[in-house]
């Protein structure tokens, strides 16, 4: 066992770019997709491009589920010789049972300090929290300090997104307070956000281009007098639109880092192809 090293674990719904995973030695436990009686490990057995091609034409929709406590137990066991502690930054407990599974498993890894942080987000909202925790761990901070960095970053993080349709959120049961928009879903492009771990409506526009502009305006309002410290653009099978949004974010807010991420199939299942999002956190 490495008596000093703290590892950060996140789940695949964080949709972290591979370069960040490698650079910061973040470990990723996959969620599960169930589609027509077949089970796939998210990001392992099915890649995003193949998944979204199928999703656009399939008559059936997949469902998703969290890793079990047994899977977390085995995941922790394999890390025992590499570290003295693990900080888990996981998808919002309001939309996933991943936090619950990790909590149930942490007592089965004797000798390891294990902490579980509910990110209250998914996609790169969750991802930015995991990245901040991993940087803290790499700098030599103790496990409770790493947790404190994760929680502070979470409390200053925002995740805004515009979707082409509410159909996928509705069928997947993740629609939250946006349910009231369903009656006009065919005629609008809803702008949604995570609020206290659930998906809630913010605004709505008639076109996607106006939705993106509104998303940027809302980000500016959220920042106020603060500075965008780091940001991530996420897209669901629309990379050109994702790259365009990255440039708009750079031009308007000039953050030191803007990541581009294609969301994992588990997240894409619930928001649907064509969704675009912006995750960021601020400093004063």
Q: Could you write out the DSSP letters of every residue in 144-213?
A: HHHHHHHHHHHHTEEEEEE-S-SHHHHHHT--GGGGGGGGGGGG-EEEEEEETTEEEEEEEESSHHHHHH
**Percent of the chain at pLDDT exceeding 90:** 72
More confidently predicted of 258 and 173? 258
Tell me the angle at which helices 208-223 and 239-253 cross, rounded to the nearest 10 degrees. Answer: 40
Length of the chain counted residue by residue: 284
Q: What is the pLDDT of residue 225?
A: 92
- For residue 263, the 8-state DSSP code is P
pLDDT of residue 33: 93
Query: How much is the pLDDT for 177?
Result: 43
pLDDT digits (tens, 9 = 90+) for 196-228: 999 898 988 989 999 999 999 999 999 999 999
Per DSSP, the residues of 86-122 read: EEEEE--TTT-SHHHHHHHHGGGSTT-EEEEEE-S--
Q: For residue 169, what pLDDT is reported?
A: 63
Tell me what the mean pLDDT of segment 162-180 comes to. 60
Instruction: Inform me whether the pLDDT recorded for 180 exceeds 60.
Output: no
Round the average pLDDT of the chain to a whole number and report it: 90
User: What is residue 42's DSSP assignment?
Assistant: B
Residues whose CB falls within 8 Å of the CB of residue 203, separated by 6 or more in sequence, listed in order:
190, 191, 214, 218
Average pLDDT over residues 139-155: 98
pTM: 0.92
Residue 140's pLDDT is: 97
Q: Which residues pair with 280 in a beta bridge?
A: 158, 231
Look-up of token digits 């910061």 = 24
Say how far apart CA 214 and CA 183 lie, in whole Å. Answer: 21
Domains of the chain: 6-31+66-155 (3.40.50.10170), 157-283 (3.30.1180.10)
Tokens of 100: 């619950």
- Residue 175 confidence (pLDDT): 46
CA distance linking residue 99 with residue 116, whole number of Å: 7
Helix, coil or strand: residue 45: coil
The arithmetic mean of pLDDT across residues 131-156, rounded, is 98
Lowest mean pLDDT among 31-35, 89-93, 151-155, 162-166: 162-166
Q: Which residues have CB under 8 Å from 104's CB, separation 6+?
A: 69, 72
pLDDT recorded at residue 2: 65
Query: Which pair of structure tokens corresponds to residue 200?
Result: 């809630």
Indicate the pLDDT class of residue 187, thresholds 50, 70 and 90. Answer: low
Q: Highest-confidence range of 134-148, 159-173, 187-201, 261-275, by mean pLDDT? A: 134-148
| Nearest Cα residue to 156 out of 222, 234, 57 | 222
Q: Indicate whether 188 pLDDT > 60.
A: yes
Q: How big is the CA angle at 237 (ends 213 and 22), to the nearest 5 degrees?
A: 100
Supply the pLDDT for residue 1.
62
8 Å CB contact between 120 and 154 = yes
- Tell me how far apart the alpha carbons of residues 171 and 164 are, in angstroms, rounded to a whole number: 14
Q: Is 130 helix (H, G, I), strand (E, B) or coil?
A: helix
State pLDDT tens for residues 46-104.
878 888 888 888 888 888 999 999 999 999 999 999 999 999 999 999 999 999 999 99
């Amino acid at each position: 066992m490495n008596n000093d090293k703290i590892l950060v674990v996140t789940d695949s719904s964080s949709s972290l770019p591979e370069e960040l995973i490698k650079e910061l030695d973040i470990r990723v436990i996959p969620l599960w997709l169930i589609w027509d009686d077949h089970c796939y490990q998210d990001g392992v057995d099915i890649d995003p491009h193949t998944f979204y091609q199928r999703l656009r034409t399939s008559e059936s929709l997949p469902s998703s589920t969290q890793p079990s406590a047994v899977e977390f137990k085995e995941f922790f066991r394999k890390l025992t010789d590499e570290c003295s502690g693990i900080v888990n930054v996981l998808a919002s407990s309001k939309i996933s049972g991943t936090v619950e599974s990790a909590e149930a498993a942490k007592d089965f890894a004797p000798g390891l300090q294990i902490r579980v942080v509910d990110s209250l987000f998914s996609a790169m909202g969750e991802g930015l929290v995991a990245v901040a925790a991993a940087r803290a761990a790499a700098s030599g901070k103790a496990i409770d300090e790493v947790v404190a960095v994760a929680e502070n970053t979470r409390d200053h993080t925002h995740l805004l997104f515009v979707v082409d349709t509410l159909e996928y959120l509705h069928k997947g049961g993740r629609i939250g307070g946006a349910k009231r928009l369903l009656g006009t879903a065919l005629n609008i492009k809803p702008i949604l956000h995570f609020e206290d771990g659930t998906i809630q409506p913010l605004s709505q526009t008639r076109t996607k281009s106006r939705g993106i502009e509104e998303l940027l305006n809302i980000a500016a309002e959220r920042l106020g007098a603060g500075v965008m410290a780091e940001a991530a653009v996420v897209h669901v099978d629309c990379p050109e639109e994702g790259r365009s949004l990255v440039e708009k974010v750079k031009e308007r807010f000039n953050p030191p880092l803007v990541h581009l991420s294609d969301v994992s199939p588990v997240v894409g299942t619930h928001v649907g192809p064509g969704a675009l999002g912006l995750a960021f956190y601020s400093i004063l």
